Chains A and B, each alone.
Chain A
């Protein structure tokens, strides 16, 4: 059970959060311009990395805010937490 440091509320138990999958997938501004394949790329394709992964979490049973998390999926260590719209930390690749 993770401890997640919500950027708005502080450290809370994982049970207060829901996971929203991979982060930094931007919804295309002009979906109509995209081919089926390009749209499918946005819609379906996810990396599912073993190692350092950027992902979205929602403090659903707390402040209801979405934010980003850098997590090493191989040991579940959360390395960094940052707000929506903020730039991802550069020291993780």
Chain B
């Protein structure tokens, strides 16, 4: 096996050999390697296939910007992760990775054929081609695109790993541990500011840490040596926290940032177990220093995407940091000085290399150094083509014309096994823009720079467009002193020597004699879009960068166009003949690099996923086989199946028992609001539609609450406990909102009212007993209480003791039966329930759930807010005009009840429906029409509630129907998938219209 690791570095521990699998084959690397550096040390460049054309692709970079080396990690059903960049993944024993985009395999694949039919795959290809027929989408196009696009696989079983969240507060957060970040962190921490420094790499130091060029020195030391000292020093600072392997995912307003810390991803399989895998840090910082550096730009020329073509600076890092050379015969293609550092480094390690430079000439210290080492430089030349299928093996260069718009002279063919490209540097302004910062464009070197406009954040170092070391250090020190309002003198006498670059020569799309349509000049490697696609989009009329981006998919892959956005903009600007600065950029959205769902969710999985509220009686329901229904956060018994009953049978039995003898319901979840104060009656007058002033103490009243727009909002029974004390009940789901709304009116509209509201939903448990035998059961429980209709009539309230414990008993009914609600302090709720059940045994007291409750109330035509109403129903629409006071001057929503729209006769109104076939049960939500023949069919309304009533032995339904009030007796049709159901409009009350049962 070839070995491209050619020298030792302090970052690679050659005593610790690590074996790993890549695409099923075993390889070796060392501790300190990333998957990418280990692959390169084994001579592997080819790591995947491109998205559209399935061209062979190789490792391009050494960091987060990597577009090609995207891997699927692991293959277990519960632990496998797609979209991992091999350039960031630290190697560990037992790592199994596979290239993501290469079905069926990386060396030979079917999609490769797209490369040869590529003229057929222009910009907007997916929009244009996969449009019709529509039925093809689900079965043909989508699976095909997914299969060949290499979007990676999701795990199919729950993630067994542990994730964590942590909230922290700092005076200063420094993002990025390169030279400027380290200086900023040191200055802040030494000035007694609580400081956090985060860096996504394993060690601090950025790109300076492996810098070894003699022409760049700080205080007479190599810059890397100097920086190592600085790192040693900051590690001693007590109020500085350093988090490595931690990357900022999002920068939100008010300096709220999310960071992902990798804790076990670099550990061998057996050491990962039972440890927190990743932690999401939720950081609030008073001030934020952004020192995220810059990334090198590729160059856009024909066939610039072959394996073996990397960013020049990445070649340098693989060499000086990992000890790995990317080739043995390297060509560096550049428009600026930084490739010369790579060249000199390579030369020092004995790697043959030559330079192709777009510039006509240049003469910095670095260039002189390269020239004196005898490195061959082709100035004023451009690469026009590359060759080699699975890896580059040669290329062609030509001379540039005077204006740089075309090539002249003869082609020169040069052989090579690796090409480094350097198109200059792009400051990483993602954090700045995510925070809401704007950008300026600097014409000299064509970069977008942070526009400083906030006292809470600042960008320093190369992310601020300062590229040479002297500039970086001087400016960082000055800016940090000013930003933090401190006077740090640590770097006053620091002596920096570095090579000064003269101009670079920026050409976004390099010239070529071959027409653009016949070239493959890639801009976005991950999404496979080319310069031709951008030009085509412009030709087809797209102008906005946001539109061009979406049409060509440039910058829309998981790398979010870190390498491609600038070139796309540049080519648009050149083609459209506008200044690049005026185009603006696309929006940089969080996360900066992909996040796992596990990290986002943290500990809120399984039973911690959502808060669950249970009543005091919950255990009894569980023991008695209840099926539960979620109502808001509450778990409510739905029905209690007996002896293998299905839901229908259970509900029929429960409903019948409740009307024939007695039923019991856990009503504890109903919202309860305690209302006190001398103006409590007046307050109720204003919030309910009916009158409250005359409600006697000890009496209960049903109330309907509207929104200011006149639509029904909530309902419930309120009891007057004493002169200035009421207990209001609300719907289970509406409790919190009703309280908020009432508080709103009290605090903002009627602060003069003396009223206090307290939520007491959880304070009381409620057992509701109904049915003809309920009085007898109550009598057993409360033998001293006079239950006669004279003493304790319907809609009244008594207090009594159950074994010395106070109970509030309301005689109110939601079923139409004689009915009592017993309220007791929640801690006694379970005992109360059991005592009720015990007392009710001889009367076949049957526990029933929400489904039976809904059925029973529907028989009586009682509405459920939220089921029979949907925020567009007035009391009149519900045929409940009786509850709206004509006398009251005002209440919430009153004025809206006679707006032109609310008095329309043809509003949807609540009606009853009876099916012609009494056994036919309608579907809730089903549409209602009067005529199925004329098209389009005029829809009159829909079914809101529907049940089979065991007490009436027929199907009943409630519905909202246009002009329904006037339609009693009319025939309507419910068209279903395979039949039309005939129904007749009826009254909404199906049972006991005379309310005889209430006093049975």
**A36 contacts B900, CB within 8 Å?**
yes
CB of B24, distance to nearest CB on chain A (Å): 45
Q: Does A20 contact B (CB under 8 A)?
A: yes
For residue A91, CB closer than 8 A to chain B, the reply is no
Task: Give the CA-CA distance A80 to B11 in the complex, in Å.
Answer: 52
A43 and B896 contact, CB distance less than 8 A: yes
A39 and B747 within 8 A (CB)? no
Given the complex of chains A and B, what is the CA–CA distance between A65 and B757 in angstroms?
12
Given A1-B254, A32-B889: A85 and B899 within 8 A (CB)?
no
Interface size class of A (residues with CB under 8 A): 20 to 34
A39 contacts B748, C-beta separation under 8 Å: no
Is A76 on the interface with B (CB-CB < 8 A)? yes
Q: Smallest distance from the beta carbon of A32 to chain B beta carbons, Å? A: 6
Say yes or no: is B725 at the interface (Cβ < 8 Å to chain A). Answer: no
B167: nearest chain-A partner, CB-CB: A13
CA distance A27 to B896 in the complex (A): 13
Q: Are A32 and B254 in contact (CB under 8 A)?
A: no
* A1-59 contacts to B (CB < 8 Å): 1-3, 18, 20, 26-28, 30-32, 34, 36, 39-40, 43, 56, 58
**Residue picked from B252, B254, B740, B899, most chain A C-beta under 10 Å:** B254
Q: By the criterion CB–CB under 8 Å, are B748 and A84 in contact?
A: yes
Proximity string of chain B (691-714) to chain A, C-beta cutoff 8 Å, 1 when within and 0 when not: 000000000000000001100000
Task: List the B side residues contacting A56 at CB < 8 Å.
Answer: 748
Q: A18-B740, A32-B889 are in contact. Are A66 and B895 (CB under 8 A)?
A: no
Judge whether B256 and A1 touch: CB under 8 Å: yes
Cα(A84)–Cα(B747), bound, Å: 7
Given the complex, which residues of B lie within 8 Å of A58, measured CB to CB? 740, 743-744
B227 to chain A, nearest CB (A): 35
Say how far A85's CB is from chain B's closest CB, in angstroms: 6
**In the bound complex, CA of A32 to CA of B888 (Å):** 11
Given A1-B254, A43-B709, is A32 in contact with B895 using a C-beta cutoff of 8 Å? yes
- Tell me whether B253 is interfacial, beta carbon within 8 Å: yes
Q: Tell me, rounded to whole Å, the shortest Cβ–Cβ distance linking B164 to chain A.
A: 19
Interface contact B740-A1, CB-CB below 8 Å = no
CB distance from A31 to the nearest CB of B (A): 4
Contacting residues, chain B, for A3 (C-beta < 8 A)? 254, 256, 284
B388 interface residue, CB < 8 Å from A?
no
Q: Are B899 and A36 in contact (CB under 8 A)?
A: yes
Please give, as numbers and ranges, the residues of chain B lying within 8 Å of A30 by CB-CB distance: 890
Q: How far is the CB of A46 from chain B (nearest CB, A)?
A: 13
When chains A and B are docked, how far (Å) is the Cα of A40 from the Cα of B710? 12
Query: Which residues of B are found within 8 Å of A31, using beta-carbon distances?
Result: 890, 894-895
Quick one: given A18-B740, A34-B895, are A76 and B890 in contact (CB under 8 Å)? no
B610 to chain A, nearest CB (A): 16
Smallest distance from the beta carbon of B424 to chain A beta carbons, Å? 32
Q: Which residues from 411 to 450 on chain B have a C-beta closer than 8 Å to any C-beta of chain A?
A: 436
Given known A-B contacts A1-B253, A27-B749, A20 and B900 have beta carbons under 8 A apart: no
Given A1-B252, A58-B743; 11 other pairs, CB 8 A cutoff: A1-B256, A2-B253, A2-B254, A30-B890, A31-B895, A39-B896, A39-B899, A58-B744, A65-B747, A75-B436, A84-B748
Query: A residues near B, CB below 8 A?
Result: 1-3, 18, 20, 26-28, 30-32, 34, 36, 39-40, 43, 56, 58, 60, 64-66, 75-76, 84-85
**Which 9 pairs show the lowest CB-CB distances between chains A and B?**
A31-B895, A1-B256, A66-B747, A3-B254, A27-B749, A76-B253, A1-B252, A39-B895, A36-B899
